[in-house]
Structure 1
Amino acid sequence: MMKRSISTHVFLQQRLHAGLLDAMVGAGAQSIELFAARHHFDYVDRTEVKELAKWFRSNDCRATLHQPIFDGRGANWSKHVPPSINLIDVEKTRRIDAMDEVKRALEAAEQIDIDSIVLHLGTQNDTWNERTLDISMTAIEHIKAFAAPLGVKTLIETLPNDVTTPEHLMEMLRIGHLDSVNVCLDVGHMNLHGMGGVASAFEILGDRIKQLHLHDNGGEKDEHCWPGEGTVKWDEVRAGIAALKLPPTGTLEIRYEPEMDAKTMSANAAKAFHMLEQPVPQPQS
């Protein structure tokens, strides 16, 4: 059975505090994904990081980290703002800036016991070619070298772009001999039109899947709805999880809504976990 996890993405417009973490544990979370955005989780504020580290030490709950995808403090952030940090940007200076920001977030692992970091490679418009492959492998190697001494594993997320399709991710890991790097399978992204579907992603990625991002959509845009509110085939997700040798971390990565208070989030998350843990339907004979 997968390890239950919730991303703080659900509270992205709010400053992260112990009360929100308590609500996630109350919903059944065994692990929490810290979504690195300075207006939400300010990973460069040592006092804030120290307070969160104290909470994790006092609770039976693990931590993972989602890399920053927004520049600076995000004062003008909204759910309509596209990512502005790109580790494989065509411009070298922007790649360097992106790398520096991800490393700043990773430094939180000096105080918080973080199991893994989830990386984004590229934006929606990035395409797969030899140059992209080379830059991607360089970025992964750089992050891996920085994260490993901190005890943090490196995971690459399947995004709705041509660079991080399951096939291209596996090619990247194979060519780069990146045996210690694994994958975060984003179920919602695989449900989008043209992305190949959830069942195919499980088949291609197999046991390289160590974490899942669990959310739903109608197949046309990346909506980050609660499981069951869209067209994701959750029977295929449950079957894919059951087929893995080691249970992954299953992270509910739900969009921020102003009306989503801690109580509502907790109830919705508990309901989603219950649905995801139902027995896998057996094929009719």
Structure 2
Amino acid sequence: MSFGLSSHLVLPQRLTPALMNTLASSGARQIEIFAARHHFDYTDRHAVREMANWFGSNDMAASLHMPLFSPEDGGDWSRHTAPTLNLISTNKGDRILAMDETKRALEAAEQVPFTAAVIHLGLGDEQWSTRAIDDSLTAIEHLKAFAGPLGVQLLLENLNNAVATPEHLVEIVKIGHFDSVGFCLDLGHAHLQGMDHESGKSAIAKAFATFGDRLRELHVHDNKGMRDEHLWPGEGSIDWAEVSMLTKAATPPLVSVLELSHEFGFDADAAVKQVRAAIDRLSE
């Protein structure tokens, strides 16, 4: 089982080479950079070059989580800032803003060796409709054409809205014939759906089956089944024995990226020790 670590853990801080060294000491073999301008400013040439140089000097795979916050959120961002960028908004201006910001983040792949980028479709109240399908197809088509020449594979993530369910994401990909697009299964998001009464399986097990061999990455965090908390594995109610069994049986092999809650003023070194312990527990 291969493990990665999302910089979401240190999202309140600017991502420096020193902080990257701390994250790398966790034992993870991949770092997923969370694209937020106050954290990793993908529009700043110096910041991008700095990150490219770090990956060039370290044996570590790189992936990217596309931006969720508009540029206007950067100055007063806090842990309570809700995502605002929406690639499939009903407002055309908002869709254009989200697309432009996402492309700006992807441009960093010209220097940073990102191999994958995780994409969100919609916000929390998104409804499944013909309009949502059309806007999703348009967004994926544009981003796929932009990311492909950069060597970046798009990964669609399941969310707690009516569009980005595993079943609907698979349907969108089939309609668009997006053969190169994969999926990222967020375990915490899936767990919030509880049991699938029709199949008798947990929502996590059903999501594994739905995504099938197009599944490339897991977002690993826990919750108590009520809200998206990004807790450490074992602090919530996810059945980690089941997750381990499903992960080991998956083909091709998956990268399990820990996407954990962030705090202001916390000790990054101490947090990384917790990451090492979490990786050890999950490995067992």
1:242 aligns with 2:241: no
2:206 is paired with a residue whose SS is helix
After superposition, the C-alpha distances for 1:36-88 in whole angstroms (9 at most, x for unaligned) are 00000000000111011101000000110000000116111112111010000
How far does residue 16 in structure 1 lie from its aligned partner after superposition?
Answer: 0.4
Alignment equivalent of 1:198, drawn from 193, 204, 228:
204
8 Å contact kept, 2:122–2:161: yes
Match of residue 214 from structure 1: 220
Tell me if structure 2 keeps the 8 A contact 1:165–1:195. Answer: no
Tell me if 1:96 matches 2:133.
Answer: no
For 1:79, the equivalent position in structure 2 comes to 79
Residue ranges of structure 2 left out of the alignment (5+ in a row): 197-202
Task: List structure 1 runs of 4+ shifted beyond 3 angstroms.
Answer: 193-196
Give me the whole-angstrom Cα distance separating, in 2, the residues matched to 1:190 and 1:245. 20
Match of 2:109 in 1: 109
CA distance in 2, matches of 1:4, 1:241: 11
Report the Cα distance in structure 1 between the residues aligned to 2:78 and 2:195, rounded to whole angstroms: 26
Name the counterpart of 2:68. 69
- Cα distance between partner residues in 2 of 1:257 and 1:211: 25
Worse-superposed segment, 196-205 or 30-39: 196-205
Report 1:123-134 matches (<5 A). Answer: 123-134=123-134
CA deviation profile, 1:149-173 (whole Å, cap 9, x unmatched): 0111110001111111111111111
- The 3 A distance-change label for structure 1 pair 89 and 181 is same
Who is 1:152 aligned against? 152
Q: TM-score, normalised by structure 2?
A: 0.95
Kept in 2: contact 1:109–1:150 (CA 8 A): yes
Q: Distance in 2 between matches of 1:137 and 1:250?
A: 27
Give the secondary-structure state (helix, strand or coil) at the position aligned to 1:29.
coil
Residue of structure 1 aligned with 2:266, choices 260, 267, 274: 260
**Could you list the per-position Cα deviations for residues 92-126 of structure 1 after superposition, in whole angstroms to 9, with x for gaps in the alignment?**
11101100000000010011000111000001100
Q: TM-score, normalised on structure 1?
A: 0.94
Structure 1, unpaired ranges of 5+ = 279-285
What residue number does 1:52 align with?
Answer: 51
- Identity among equivalent positions (%) equals 50
AA matched with 1:25 = A
| Aligned AA (1:119) | I
3-state SS of paired residue (2:160): coil
Residues 192-251 of structure 1 show CA distances to partners (whole Å, capped at 9, x for unaligned) of 145852111111111111011000111111001111110111112111111111111111
Contact 2:155 2:183 in 1 (8 A): yes
* One-letter amino acid of the counterpart of residue 237, structure 1: V
Mapped contact 1:31–1:64 kept (Cα < 8 A): yes
3-state SS of 2:96 partner: helix
With 39-48 and 233-242 compared, the bigger mean Cα shift is at 233-242
1:64 is paired with a residue whose SS is strand
